Structure 1
Amino acid sequence: MASVKLERIIEKMKLENLTPELDISKIKITQPDINRPALQVAGYFEHFEATRLQIIGFVEYTYMESLPRERKEEIYARILSCDIPAFVFCRELKPDELFMKTAIENNVPILMTKKATSAFMAEIIRWLNVKLAPCISVHGVLVDIFGEGVLITGESGIGKSEAALELIKRGHRLVTDDAVEIRKVSDDTLVGSAPDITKHFIELRGIGIVDVKMLFGVSSVRDTQTIDLVIRLEDWDKEKEYDRLGLEEEYTEYLGNKVACHNIPIRPGRNLAVICESAAINHRQKKMGYNAAQELYRRVQESLLRKRDDEEDD
């Protein structure tokens, strides 16, 4: 199961640790959802998701402050005795001494942020959704072409890295070469990234390892990119019939998400970089509502109808 260390969350979200005496090195978050324990503070503990990060906003804080001491002792003891990874107080709200004392006794870290509650919740949920998303690794090259994430796949040695290098020289950006980590961040979105070890490197047979970031500058690389299109390279087979119109969209599937896919035959003289650029622009046009193949089909149908009408008039 994917997890994120609490220390990493504190670093990423710039949180202040109000309980530095507690050891948080082994605390991990395993789900992207968070919880605002308003009902629990009021005494209702049915269906309490204690394994989530607990977020305290202004409403929960003012209610806690209004409770008499006896009620605070009862509620604090019950809620902090659960296996909670951490409490986060927003808007720089500081918990009272009784809450801090009970939290330390139960080894529950207390964190604080300057951000407003809604803004912090949106940011941490989005970040955790990416970090904890289902993930697979596939063999290929991921390139950002005109804002479209194009995953180039194919057998080893077919020319994926060479195509990526030419695309970089034409002003596009490399995400990863050889190994692509694909994360399903939603039912509609796949995000690709590079393993830390091979980030920004390309392997070229006969030359070796090339550092794209050092050679072409920081504008030639990016860390992550949504996967919008898959281009599968294959050796040209003269016996095989290839799609020449593109009326019917083909798809491939990763982690249950469908992605548009083109099978591109390779033979000497074909410029892979230009083909990949054209495929990316064409895919972008389709998303904007224009399909060149359907437009050609419409023109042919209109031409046939005009021809038939002319014959009937004669």
Structure 2
Amino acid sequence: MTNFVTVSQLVEDNELKVYSGEELLKDKKVITSDISRPGIELTGYFDYYPSERIQLFGQTESAYSRSMTSNNRYKVMLELCREDTPALLISRNIQPSKEILQAAKEHNVPVIGSTLPTTRLSSMITEYLDEKLAPRESIHGVLVDVYGIGILLTGHSGIGKSETALELVKRGHRLIADDRVDVYQRDEKTIVGEAPKILNHLLEIRGIGIIDVMNLFGAGAVRSKSEIQLIINLENWSADKNYDRIGTLEDKRTFFDVDVPQITVPVKVGRNISIIIEVAAMNYRAKKMGYDATKKFEDNLGLLIKENEAKTKNDGEGK
């Protein structure tokens, strides 16, 4: 099933004004984030007209249309307003001509507008539609913001993800989602997670029940969404399993076509998982800034080996 956004949602979420066709907004659907600026169409060329896109009129398009005769302007606007055209969008608070309003009314196309400059408006609407129309996946886990790093906690039910998130909130970090995380791809390199509306700001603690984190800890303890930059998988400690002790084992999890780094943290009595997660966040940030403690250890180890080899060689020659 194709994702869509109604023009009504578009208008409400982006504070757009409605010039005409308000009764059509809930029925008109936007199915693509691409926006068209109908420059060549105003000259009468419609062989490759992307009618399923929002048609954006800026200062250039509006000025050109004003240079046309009323009859020609009306004919072109009739061609622009197709059955699958979601809306005509006008920037810079430019008032639509009577020909635009008449043609749009005849073909049931709403006319909406904004005070923003054309480029900014196009960028804002495109980003909004990219987010709303992106493929989504609901996964089991807890998403937290630790030192500005979006960390997704995964693991079997009962491993302590929610309790760890609560401890992190008490330590000044922020909760994004508990139990279920809605994940979508924002662009070619970015995965974003947010809470389902029904679970927004809520945290489930076994033995206590549901708590409202924003109500208990304040607005600074929650975020609505965050980029997922690191996954920490919590699992019960097993003496038979070899865990990464140096940081050379690289794991990842793929969402859609984006790879997100993943580490596994064993859980057992005596380990402070929240502090470990804080350190993991700081270590991730350090790597992004170009400092890799694992590489430094390997470099130091290499130097030590060379020094020992040189010493052994010198001792052999001395004999």
With structure 2 as the length reference, what TM-score do the two structures score?
0.96
Correspondence for 1:127: 128
Which is further off, 180-189 or 62-71?
A: 62-71
- Deviation, 1:21, is 5.5
Output aligned runs, 1:278-289, within 5 Å: 278-289=279-290
Q: Give distance in 2, aligned partners of 1:76 and 1:8.
A: 25
Correspondence for 2:26: 25
- Deviation, 1:20, is 4.4
Q: Which runs of 5+ in 1 are unaligned?
A: none
Residue 228 of structure 2 is aligned to residue 253 of structure 1: no
Correspondence for 1:136: 137
Q: Give distance in 2, aligned partners of 1:168 and 1:21.
A: 44
One-letter identity of the residue aligned with 1:304: I
Taking a change above 3 Å as real, the CA distance of residues 156 and 99 of structure 1, as seen in their structure-2 partners, is: same
Q: Give distance in 2, aligned partners of 1:113 and 1:119.
A: 10
Correspondence for 2:209: 208
Q: Give distance in 1, aligned partners of 2:288 and 2:249.
A: 15
Q: Give distance in 2, aligned partners of 1:55 and 1:8.
A: 17
Q: Give distance in 2, aligned partners of 1:62 and 1:192.
A: 42
Output aligned runs, 1:100-179, within 5 Å: 100-179=101-180
Q: Give distance in 1, aligned partners of 2:40 and 2:23.
A: 27
Q: Is the 8 A contact 2:90 2:114 kept in 1?
A: yes
- Deviation, 1:144, is 0.2
- Deviation, 1:148, is 0.3
Residue 277 of structure 2 is aligned to residue 276 of structure 1: yes
Q: Which runs of 5+ in 2 are unaligned?
A: none
Q: Is the 8 A contact 2:30 2:86 kept in 1?
A: yes
Residue 212 of structure 2 is aligned to residue 232 of structure 1: no
**1:133-191 deviation per Cα after TM superposition (whole angstroms, max 9, x unaligned):** 11000000000000000000000000000000000000000000000000111120000
Q: Is the 8 A contact 1:142 1:177 kept in 2?
A: yes
Correspondence for 1:45: 46
Percent identity, aligned pairs only, is 37
Q: Is the 8 A contact 1:22 1:104 kept in 2?
A: no
Q: Give distance in 2, aligned partners of 1:185 and 1:12.
A: 18
- Deviation, 1:124, is 1.0
Residue 114 of structure 2 is aligned to residue 88 of structure 1: no
Q: Give distance in 2, aligned partners of 1:23 and 1:2.
A: 19
- Deviation, 1:265, is 0.9
- After the TM superposition, list the runs of 4 or more consecutive aligned residues in structure 1 that deviate by more than 3 angstroms: none
Correspondence for 1:189: 190
Q: Is the 8 A contact 1:2 1:30 kept in 2?
A: yes
Q: Could you say what secondary structure the match of 1:152 adopts? A: strand
One-letter identity of the residue aligned with 1:148: I
- Deviation, 1:313, is 2.4
RMSD between superposed Cα atoms in Å? 1.2
Q: Could you say what secondary structure the match of 1:296 adopts? A: helix
**1:187-206 deviation per Cα after TM superposition (whole angstroms, max 9, x unaligned):** 20000000000111111111
Q: Give distance in 2, aligned partners of 1:18 and 1:61.
A: 15
- Deviation, 1:48, is 1.6
Q: Is the 8 A contact 2:21 2:108 kept in 1?
A: no
Q: Give distance in 1, aligned partners of 2:199 and 2:61.
A: 45
Q: Is the 8 A contact 2:22 2:110 kept in 1?
A: no
Q: Could you say what secondary structure the match of 1:62 adopts? A: helix
Which is further off, 12-21 or 126-135?
A: 12-21
Q: Could you say what secondary structure the match of 2:183 adopts? A: strand
Q: Give distance in 1, aligned partners of 2:37 and 2:31.
A: 17
Q: Give distance in 1, aligned partners of 2:241 and 2:77.
A: 71
What is the count of residue pairs matched by the alignment?
A: 314
Q: Could you say what secondary structure the match of 2:198 adopts? A: coil
With structure 1 as the length reference, what TM-score do the two structures score?
0.97
- Deviation, 1:83, is 2.3
Q: Is the 8 A contact 2:192 2:228 kept in 1?
A: yes
Q: Is the 8 A contact 1:232 1:264 kept in 2?
A: yes
